[in-house]
Amino acid sequence: MTAAAVGLSHSPLIGKNDPEADVLARVGKAVDGAKAFVRDFDPELVVLYAPDHYNGFFYKEMPPFCLATEAHAVGDFGSQAGPLSVDTDAARALAQGVLDRGVDLTVSARMTVDHGFAQPLEVLFGGIDRVPVVPVFVNGVATPLGPVSRIRALGTAVGEAAAALDRRVLFLASGGLSHDPPVPVLDGAPPRVADALIEGRPPTPEQRAKGEQRVVQAGRDYAAGSTAMIPVNPAWDNRLLDHLENGELAEFDSWTVAGMAREGGGSAHEVRSWIAAFASLAATGPYAMTSRFYEPIPAWIAGFAVATARER
Ligand SMILES: O=C(O)CCC(=O)/C=C/C=C(\O)C(=O)O
Ligand SMILES: [Fe+2]
């Protein structure tokens, strides 16, 4: 088996509320580097770790993580809608391998995903149906959240199970780093919002457009400095990237949910996807980070990072 990893921040505001041209150019260069890395690695299978933003998973049943044997994207924020090219046989094999290793994985035979999954597939592969993929939802927004050590255990178990497949496998992480976008919160929500977060009734096109416009406006307010959001935290983000680069994954076990939210904002928990992907790569052998880009981008409400890594 040959393994590699890519971490890529996502933002629903990309293309809708863009930063200055020089920032875009730097991001474009980093993304082009990641695309070249992926082209060169030529994965036979992509294990994609990503969060959801109340489009697929709701409080009626909210697993800490869930592997899909089939998945379709809703097409929010202009992302591609439709079925993902899930490798069902590989997904089933990985699910069994993870359960065999004592991690209580939830499995979905029809997962609904949003821009968190669609965006990295579109950016790196040109679409959500271009490469055999195993989608793994990692809850990064809906509290209560469990200890980060369990995410590391999930990533390790997936990596070990993937090693048995004897294929070129790319572990791809979507999300983070520090950011505090306006994702609804159940605790204290008005009854109508709480009901939507629990039941997951699909929004009408008008409701979806209104919600998306709210996020775009939040990005504008944030970039203009007029908002109560927790600021992007470059020091925290770089600490995370340092640990990933140095293979110090056990360090994350001492990171607490409350501390992560305080330092990185309500959606900082999306870095769980990164920790899972790098734990998977580490489970296949020693690795080296081959590229690392980071920049705080207020217009996207994002501590935006792109990193690539492969086995030594
Ligand atoms: O307002 C809503 O209902 C949805 C908000 C939403 O999906 C925001 C997403 C933000 C990110 O994905 C992010 O910044 O990581
Ligand atoms: Fe997100």
Q: Could you report the per-residue pLDDT of 156-169, keeping only the tens digit for each?
A: 999 999 999 999 99
Separation of 122 CA from ligand 1 center, angstroms?
18
- Residue pair 182/212 in contact (Cβ under 8 Å)? The answer is no
Separation of 252 CA from ligand 2 center, angstroms?
20
Ligand lying nearest the CA atom of residue 301? 1
pLDDT at residue 90 above 90?
Answer: yes
Q: Check which CATH number belongs to the domain holding 209 and give it.
A: 3.40.830.10
Q: So what's the pLDDT on residue 1?
A: 87
- Residue pair 14/300 in contact (Cβ under 8 Å)? The answer is yes
User: Confidence class of residue 238 from pLDDT cuts 50, 70 and 90?
Assistant: very high
Ligand lying nearest the CA atom of residue 54? 1
- CA-CA distances (angstroms) from residue 186 to 15, 107, 153, 298? 29, 24, 27, 25
- Structural domain including 39 reads 2-311
- Residue pair 5/287 in contact (Cβ under 8 Å)? The answer is yes
**Cβ–ligand 1 contact at 183 (below 6 Å):** yes
- SS3 call for 7: strand
d(CA 97, CA 103): 9
Mean pLDDT along residues 231-253? 98
- Among candidate residues 254, 203, 265, the one with its CA nearest the CA of residue 228: 265
**Cβ–ligand 1 contact at 211 (below 6 Å):** yes
- Residue pair 241/312 in contact (Cβ under 8 Å)? The answer is no
Ligand lying nearest the CA atom of residue 50? 2
d(CA 120, CA 8): 7
How many folded domains does the chain comprise?
A: 1
Pick from 179, 215, 216 the residue to mutate for probing ligand 1's pocket: most ligand atoms within 8 Å of its CB.
215
Phi first, then psi, for residue 13 (nearest 5°) are: -95, -5
Q: Could you report the per-residue pLDDT of 275-303, keeping only the tens digit for each?
A: 999 999 999 999 999 999 999 999 999 99
Mean pLDDT along residues 6-21? 97
- The complex scores an ipTM of 0.95
- Residue pair 189/277 in contact (Cβ under 8 Å)? The answer is no
Q: Could you report the per-residue pLDDT of 103-159, keeping only the tens digit for each?
A: 999 999 999 999 999 999 999 999 999 999 999 999 999 999 999 999 999 999 999
d(CA 171, CA 175): 13
Is 72 one of the catalytic residues?
Answer: no
d(CA 279, CA 49): 11
Is 115 one of the catalytic residues?
Answer: yes
**Cβ–ligand 1 contact at 12 (below 6 Å):** yes
Q: So what's the pLDDT on residue 202?
A: 87
**Cβ–ligand 1 contact at 269 (below 6 Å):** no
Separation of 240 CA from ligand 1 center, angstroms?
22
Separation of 13 CA from ligand 1 center, angstroms?
9
